């Protein structure tokens, strides 16, 4: 079977296609024929060597993936051949609170990922794909979708009607927008491009802000919220935006910090902003299999169609990486494995 491999830090040019024999199947394993995968910022960071604590090894990249079960081991109980599945982000985090032993490995960083024709792993590493999703949409839940859900409903604990500020139009933010809309929240979206903001209106954004026109965008957020600030900020921007996000957040509100930080720099936080405002800053990192199952249930019930920016063929994987790196996408960048 064909598979890509890459060495941490080798750059996109280091992504190579190989032909490898199929893996043997253990008693608790399933064999999945991959159909589609999608890229996340963390995959670029792994390629570029900027992902924190990256092991210095070569592996199959990517974590997001959707496929069909084609063979099951003798002790497998949750799946049968023909089932459609998606990957989990942290295979050892099945449920409950986060803990070091649960997040020790994730696909495409510590262990082989999904950019291959066939993946063999324990059934515990997969969940059933939402029935209503097409092949490409289903390949976008395990990282960006899961992170967005966790930010809004687990870490954020938002009630219907709450306001949420979304920074930019990357994968997590667009997922958060679609989920927020379907769950009766009030999403406000920030971007530098009017045409992207237009699109977010169609997806349910109640308000939009162009930060080129409003460099002091936190003041605009206050204005849009009658001087209160938003209940939650889903902060993906890193050190450049954190102080403004805290200001844009209401007294007693929360900023959920996710994703990677480009330069790895430290953000300077005025403690007074936390104390006087009784605000919270919470880091999250994707989520458990149980949270992913909640997301799948919701996506199915509300027939949410994930926004796919562009689909590349399996042979165009490098181009897909470069498209993501160019940061002009709106929604997810997908690779069709069978394409």
Task: Give the footprint of a copy of itself on residues 45-74 (CB under 8 A).
Answer: 52
Count the Cβ atoms, other than its own, within 10 Å of residue 316. 15
Binding flag, residue 294, a copy of itself (CB under 8 A): yes
Q: How far is the CB of 106 from a copy of itself (least distance, A)?
A: 11
CA distance 163 to 159: 9
Closer to a copy of itself by Cβ: residue 82 or 271? 271
CA distance 215 to 262: 20
Binding flag, residue 99, a copy of itself (CB under 8 A): yes
Which phi and psi angles does 177 have, rounded to 5°? -65, -45
Binding flag, residue 182, a copy of itself (CB under 8 A): yes
Q: How far is the CB of 211 from a copy of itself (least distance, A)?
A: 19
Query: For residues 164 and 152, is the Cβ–Cβ distance under 8 A?
Result: yes
Which one of the spans 119-127, 214-222, 249-257, 321-329 is the region binding a copy of itself (CB under 8 A)?
249-257
Task: Give the footprint of a copy of itself on residues 103-162 (CB under 8 A).
Answer: 103, 153, 159-161
- Token pair for 235: 């902060």
Query: For residues 176 and 154, is the Cβ–Cβ distance under 8 A?
Result: no
Binding flag, residue 257, a copy of itself (CB under 8 A): yes
Binding flag, residue 258, a copy of itself (CB under 8 A): yes
SS3 category, 326: coil
Which one of the spans 12-20, 40-48, 91-99, 117-125 is the region binding a copy of itself (CB under 8 A)?
91-99
Q: Is 10 exposed, middle or buried (0-12, 13-18, 19+ CB in 10 A)?
A: middle
CA distance 225 to 206: 11
Binding flag, residue 215, a copy of itself (CB under 8 A): no
Q: How far is the CB of 300 from a copy of itself (least distance, A)?
A: 9
Q: What is the CA radius of gyration of the chain?
A: 20
Binding flag, residue 82, a copy of itself (CB under 8 A): no
Query: For residues 108 and 61, is the Cβ–Cβ distance under 8 A?
Result: yes
Q: How far is the CB of 325 from a copy of itself (least distance, A)?
A: 21
Of positions 24, 74, 202, 275, contacts a copy of itself by CB under 8 A: 275
What are the residues whose beta carbons fall under 8 Å from the beta carbon of 163, sequence distance 6 or more? 185, 186, 187, 188, 225, 230, 231, 232
Size of the site for a copy of itself (CB under 8 A): 56
CA distance 89 to 156: 20
Which one of the spans 20-28, 68-76, 211-219, 270-278 is the region binding a copy of itself (CB under 8 A)?
270-278
Q: Which residues bind a copy of itself (CB under 8 A)?
A: 52, 95-100, 103, 153, 159-161, 179, 182-184, 186, 206, 228, 238-239, 242, 251-252, 257-261, 264, 266-285, 290, 294, 297-298, 301-302
């Amino acid at each position: 079977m064909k598979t890509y491999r890459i060495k941490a830090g080798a750059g996109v040019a280091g992504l190579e296609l190989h032909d490898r024999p199929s893996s043997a199947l253990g008693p608790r394993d399933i064999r999945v024929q991959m159909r589609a995968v999608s890229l996340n910022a963390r995959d670029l960071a792994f390629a570029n060597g900027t992902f924190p604590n990256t092991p210095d090894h070569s592996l199959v990249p990517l974590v997001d993936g959707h496929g069909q079960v084609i063979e099951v081991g003798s002790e497998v109980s949750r799946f049968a051949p023909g089932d459609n599945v998606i990957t989990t982000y942290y295979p050892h985090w099945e449920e409950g609170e986060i803990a070091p032993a649960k997040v020790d490995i994730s696909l495409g960083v510590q262990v082989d990922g999904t950019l291959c024709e066939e993946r063999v792993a324990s059934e515990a590493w997969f969940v059933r794909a939402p029935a209503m999703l097409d092949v490409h949409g289903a390949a976008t839940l395990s990282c960006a979708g899961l992170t967005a859900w966790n930010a809004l409903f687990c870490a954020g604990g938002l009630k219907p009607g709450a306001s949420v500020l979304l920074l930019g139009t990357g994968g997590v933010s667009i997922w958060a927008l679609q989920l927020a809309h379907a769950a009766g929240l009030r999403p406000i979206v920030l971007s530098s491009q009017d045409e992207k903001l237009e699109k977010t209106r169609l997806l349910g954004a109640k308000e939009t802000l162009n930060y080129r026109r409003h460099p002091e965008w936190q003041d605009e957020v206050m204005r849009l919220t009658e001087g209160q600030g938003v209940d939650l900020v889903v902060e993906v921007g890193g050190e450049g935006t954190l102080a403004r996000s805290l200001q844009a957040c209401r007294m007693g509100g929360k900023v959920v910090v996710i994703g990677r930080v480009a330069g790895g720099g430290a953000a300077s936080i005025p403690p007074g902003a936390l104390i006087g405002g009784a605000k919270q800053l919470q880091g999250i990192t994707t989520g458990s299999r149980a949270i992913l199952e909640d997301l799948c249930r919701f996506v199915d019930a509300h027939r949410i169609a994930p926004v796919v920016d562009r689909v590349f063929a399996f042979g165009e994987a490098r181009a897909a990486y470069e498209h993501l790196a160019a940061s002009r996408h709106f929604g997810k960048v997908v690779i069709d494995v069978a394409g």
